[in-house]
């Protein structure tokens, strides 16, 4: 789902029959030439998107056996605050079963 963070309106939506991961939908359906100038803010499920989309932000993972620096934690918190509107739209779509039921 692509959402304008200024107006909180849905710009684009991709769906598939059955259970398909969001990142797989991105790789299959979205033509990156159309979206190359859009800043993509994804969650940790989008690990590896940097190679497919130049303007992307995802949370920084904690290194194995280590800890994140305070600067990295601050970046993750800031990104989460920016993404909360997207998560609220996801909740609304699921609550009202907009994509589940046939009309």
**Predicted confidence (pLDDT) per residue in 26-66, tens digit:** 777 666 566 777 888 888 888 888 887 788 899 999 999 99
pLDDT of residue 95: 77
pLDDT of residue 86: 80
pTM, full prediction: 0.70
**Predicted confidence (pLDDT) per residue in 67-91, tens digit:** 999 999 999 999 999 888 888 887 8
41: helix, strand or coil: strand
Domain spans in the chain, listed from the N-terminal domain onward:
2-95
Residue of 79, 12, 75, 11 whose CA lies nearest to 42: 79
48: helix, strand or coil: coil
Burial (CB count <10 Å: 0-12, 13-18, 19+), residue 59? buried
């Amino acid at each position: 789902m692509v959402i304008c963070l200024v107006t909180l309106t849905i710009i684009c939506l991709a769906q598939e029959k059955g259970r398909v991961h969001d990142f797989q939908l991105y790789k299959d359906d979205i033509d990156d030439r159309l979206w190359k100038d859009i800043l993509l803010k994804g969650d940790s499920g989008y690990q590896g998107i940097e190679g497919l989309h130049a303007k992307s932000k995802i949370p920084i993972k904690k290194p194995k056996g280590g800890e994140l620096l305070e600067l990295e934690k601050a970046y993750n918190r800031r990104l989460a605050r920016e993404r909360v509107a997207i998560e609220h739209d996801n909740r609304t779509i699921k609550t009202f079963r907009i994509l589940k039921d046939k009309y």
